[in-house]
Chain A
């Protein structure tokens, strides 16, 4: 295989991805998240606590804690940032050119994978640089770059290889192209996280080679030095009366490093599968897959439920009668439901369940509704451009400026349609919870529209939404994490904070939309 060719392809891939707006959004999110998790101990919270005592911010502690958090994020966000390049090739027609060229499939796939790994390493580098900056501000010991590098390599190395491998496999095998592949990967990621409790139970915690996230390695490394049963990693309260603990400079035993090396080898398995499954943009393999798309479970369901889309048609008439933004938002709602009859079925089911379920089951119902809604609306603000309808949609009354607000309105309106009945019942039982649901829906709608508009990709919101949803379910006692009132821990302050963040996001998206050239069609198309 031609190493120079693979190198050229890899560098090109990394460059293409690094130049995207979604990368900038992700880096900013990583920087914000890093500053957030390395919280100031003076405020009574720390990145890691054990038995109520905080762990000192030494190099080994900050490296381990931040690497564990980065692994959670990048294993999910990294995949969605990487995937989709081959679909772009196919849409632009370059796929056929590549397929008809003398370029071999193996160097092509390998180049894409290497480019993906480079890209993830760049993001990880940005994350590490931010934590180093945090160390300079809040650290309690010297900055030891080698400790950071070794920790990041052991924890995040196999994760980067596996995530890039999955992204390439998902792109190379036709049945995994599209939204159902996106959802499948989320379950792969959630499955990895879900198996951790089983792996770390028992007297001796061991790391396993098929845990690519590195979390079992983190826990195994810590268990050799501290009692991990009462450990909290993330933004955790600590008892200031207890003496802070200090982790040793070197956490990594040879056996853990050995298992991680095996993990790194196993992480390349998706790459090998991708090399075997690569469609080479052949119409024999891509077109039938598209034709068979109706046979995927979701597409099949949409096909069966197609008659339900008639229920959305009266909304078009209503939309035409309503003036201004409300009318156009209603048109967006009608289009969203008309294209996804399954959503109409879920919507109807949600209303019935919200009426008949006992009160204690309303919160799980709300969570399910929000999850369905989030996935449904993730591409609402980008579908105009994706479908090539952006110029036509901007030449209607209100133009491109109103399009932004009508998409935001439609996203929020759909949220209300999904969980409105439940919210009304909650309002009678727990008003603050209902208020949290409303403010959470507004904030999420604002972020969905703003992120779609700024990054030009539906995946930016989808990945952050799924990550946030997972974290929100796991974190029980932090009011700010209870975005839609699922746990009932939201406070008036957290509700107001989310409302304010939603308003800020909506306004930021508006300003982005109004910037010089922001509504130009050549940019929309790009």
Chain B
């Protein structure tokens, strides 16, 4: 469905925001994970045709969307990370406006979508008075107006309370049954239960793209638990990758990513997805260091 081939995006003389990234995406929920500044938003903006790759190609059903952006725009839903609403516009009018821009003629679709995101009772209310969660839901309803095949949502759960996050996660999971939902986040728990694949980005590069199970599998045998004193902790911090440190009285309980036994008494542990991803990131660092 989406085929990214050696995509690079640079802004002036700054280091490339996205560097030589290749990725094939099929329907389902794909979690795009990376720290702040990893290049997730830039990649999503390129897929949403807001900006063009400096080099490389993005093919949608075989068509280069930089050359023919209309090929994807009619089948695209996009929810940016930061967005707002016009003042003095009700939720219904906001939806009507975007429906008109997208050429959606069926007024019933607006009502159905407002029901889907549970905003139908607030349709006449000024959208600028909505809470953060309601705004996000309105945003996703807007993105779904044209029944898109590709839904690009950038950090959709940022700033939401736990209940809203759960609601949002479930909605995206349902949409992912027959659409490509590309969801960027740096909160692993947002995607671990719904994403069929995880694409991990670091400094503009694609570090890995695999199923959560495969990523977990690669981390097995590399995550250790140990309880140490403060002196040993300092040593381990310098020689290994400490994933977590919890003080327990005078001693410190550690979770460590390391290819072999990091210290006496350490025991192999089952990694969580977050730890697996962090271990993966550290492994990349090591590879880069060795290559250097």
Contacts and interface: CB of A to CB of B under 8 A. Distances in A.
A389 interface: yes
A517 B50 CA distance: 10
Contacts of B99: 316, 320
A388 B100 contact: no
Ranked nearest first, the 7 interchain pairs of A and B with the lowest CB-CB distance are A388-B84, A331-B100, A319-B100, A316-B96, A395-B78, A391-B80, A339-B88
Interface in B58-116: 69-70, 73-74, 76, 78-80, 82-89, 93, 96-105, 107
B105 A392 contact: no
Tell me whether chain A's interface is mostly helix, strand or loop, or mixed.
Answer: helix
B45 interface: yes
A400 B45 CA distance: 12
B101 A328 contact: yes
Nearest to B82: A388
A387 B84 contact: yes
Contacts of B50: 391, 394-395, 399-400, 519-521
Interface residues of B, number: 37
A399 B100 contact: no
12 contacts: A316-B100, A320-B99, A320-B100, A320-B103, A330-B100, A331-B97, A338-B97, A389-B83, A391-B78, A397-B70, A398-B73, A521-B51
Contacts of A392: 78-80, 83, 98, 139, 142-143
Interface residues of A, number: 38
Given A316-B99, A338-B93, A391-B50, A399 B83 contact: no
Contacts of A393: 101
Interface of B: 11, 45, 48-51, 69-70, 73-74, 76, 78-80, 82-89, 93, 96-105, 107, 139, 142-143
Given A323-B103, A398-B73, 5 more contacts: A319-B100, A388-B84, A388-B85, A389-B86, A397-B103
Contacts of A391: 45, 48, 50, 78, 80, 83
B132 to A, nearest CB: 13
A387 B100 contact: no
Interface in A470-526: 517, 519-522, 525
Q: Which of A317, A331, A383, A389 has the most CB of B within 10 A?
A: A389
Interface in A342-397: 383, 387-389, 391-397
A317 B73 contact: no
B97 A387 contact: no
Contacts of B86: 335, 339, 383, 387, 389
Interface in A293-323: 302, 309, 313, 316-317, 319-321, 323
Contacts of B87: 339, 387
Contacts of A400: 50
A327 interface: yes
Contacts of A309: 93
A222 interface: no
A398 B49 CA distance: 10
A450 interface: no
A327 B103 contact: yes
A334 B97 contact: yes
A67 interface: no
Contacts of B98: 392, 396
